[in-house]
Structure 1
Amino acid sequence: MPRTVLAGTLWPEVTEEHARGSLRTTLWKLPRGELPLVRCCGDVLMVAPALRVDVHVLTRTALGVVAGGAPPPYRHPPLGLLTGEDLLPGWDEDWVLLERERLRQLRLHALDSLAHTLIEQGRTALAMEAAWAGIRAEPLRESAHRVVVSVHLAEGNVGEALGHYAMFRTLLNEELGIEPSLRFTRLLGERLPYPTAPQHHDRRSTMPATVQNLSSSLGGPVSHVTHRVD
């Protein structure tokens, strides 16, 4: 990238002369080792080919997980997805905000996909780690909480599955004033061995018996949806 373009991108709110001066200072402060971080070719700057850029590694890894590129079962799951900070924390330039959110969403989707794959492989402890990494990044992300419940159910821990659902339902009500999705309640309703309850002529009679019993066990209706779930 030309120096002028790079300087204007990194320091857009100052004069061109000031921006180029800031760029020169930054380049001068870069560590000097056997392998340079940035190559200078006249007025053009480029990242050294041998340099490992964490953003590039994250992008390749996450896209591979989401696309199913890594051959299952994972011999070495890409657990590097479990940790990581947002892109350039503290920067508020427009280009950073867009890239930061794109990478955050990509990582969250990759964590969901990785967790589901690990559940299928019976590696529930690692699946739980992936799910909680997603929750730490976004506490209100339902898909990550569904994975936690799925892990508990896969392990036969029905009580913990119910407890986590109840915790998330309370959190969602307190923060957003809404209920978990019907997909979440169906996940529990289809997997729990509740006996069929007698049907009553009230507004809940059109809901599956398993979901009605789930509602009672959690102390209230699990959803405001009253149509039949096929």
Structure 2
Amino acid sequence: MKVVSPSELRLLGQFRLERDAGPVELCRNGQRLLAFVVLRRSVPRTVLAGTLWPEVTEERARGSLRTTLWKLPRGDQPLIRCSGDALVAAPGLHVDVHAFTETALSVVQGCGPPLVTGRAPCRLPRELLGGDDLLPGWDEEWVLLERERLRQLRLHALDALAEALVREGRPALALEAAWESLRAEPLRESAHRAAVSAHLAEGNVGEAVHHYRSFRRLLRAELGVEPSARFTRLLARGGVTVPPTGVTPR
């Protein structure tokens, strides 16, 4: 039996296509075409041509689509195949965005990956770490929309992961997850709450108060608002009294 060469496509960070662990060069239109089909999973030809070549007539856009498809690498397993009038990515193409999305959604939904199994070592899912943007430098509208969707999904997954780790009694890892979220969005209250919850779980009340006050100052300076009542209730449950609104903590 002939072995089909594995293919891997990276869209988080710079575009990179690999086969047999070696890079495959594509023209710019080939990159755009492959990225769009992979992100949408299945795309009608008309939608694909109109999105990638919006400045020309439909006939010319379809011609550009045919030319770009013809220029894609050919081999035992094509990168894109036809399904009726739609184009879909080859099932053997491994895509980092799909791996990230599956991991992030499983965390948000609370069904994985398993974080604690007895005394087994616990690690943060590598797909959620690093935070590379989708195709940085690409400014087309369809890329911008997908980039923001993935950014929001990552932030929600990190927040959910931090909260789950606090509940599982792993506050140090919870802090790591919370700080990953805060590096991406410093004003994100849910991540700050997760960090404070981790400090309280360790009994580090001073650290919890310091973190809360730092966030409160940042929020006032940037947005002119106070942390939510939910945040103050979190501290109150930990035995911490928060000064009322309008009183600057020392």
TM over 0.5: yes
In the alignment, structure 1 residue 39 sits paired with structure 2 residue 86: no
1:82 and 1:129 in contact (8 A); partners too: no
Question: RMSD across aligned C-alpha pairs, in angstroms?
Answer: 3.1
Distance 1:25 1:164 in 2: 53
Structure 1 residue 147: Cα displacement:
0.8
Q: Which residue of the other structure, out of 208, 219, 228, is the alignment partner of 1:172?
A: 219
Residues 161 and 42 from structure 1, CA distance in 2 versus in 1: closer, same or farther, beyond 3 angstroms?
Answer: closer
TM-score normalised to structure 1 length: 0.73
Partner of 1:198: none
Partner of 2:95: 53
2:64 partner letter? G
In the alignment, structure 1 residue 9 sits paired with structure 2 residue 56: no
Secondary structure at the aligned position of 1:60 is classed as helix
Structure 1 residue 151: Cα displacement:
1.1
Residue pairs, 1:154-193, within 5 angstroms: 154-192=201-239
Distance 1:217 1:174 in 2: 12
In the alignment, structure 1 residue 69 sits paired with structure 2 residue 120: no
Structure 1 residue 212: Cα displacement:
4.2
1:86 and 1:104 in contact (8 A); partners too: yes
Structure 1 residue 171: Cα displacement:
0.9
Q: Which residue of the other structure, out of 109, 134, 137, is the alignment partner of 1:87?
A: 134
Gaps of 5+ in 2: 1-42, 118-122
Distance 1:211 1:183 in 2: 12
1:69 partner letter? C
32-41 vs 94-103, greater mean Cα deviation: 32-41
TM-score normalised to structure 2 length: 0.67
Identity between Structure 1 and Structure 2 (%): 63
Structure 1 residue 71: Cα displacement:
6.8
Structure 1 residue 50: Cα displacement:
0.9
Looking at secondary structure, tell me which structure has more strand per residue: 2
Partner of 2:196: 149
Structure 1 residue 10: Cα displacement:
2.1
In the alignment, structure 1 residue 218 sits paired with structure 2 residue 249: yes
Partner of 1:136: 183
Distance 1:147 1:83 in 2: 19
How many pairs were matched up? 202
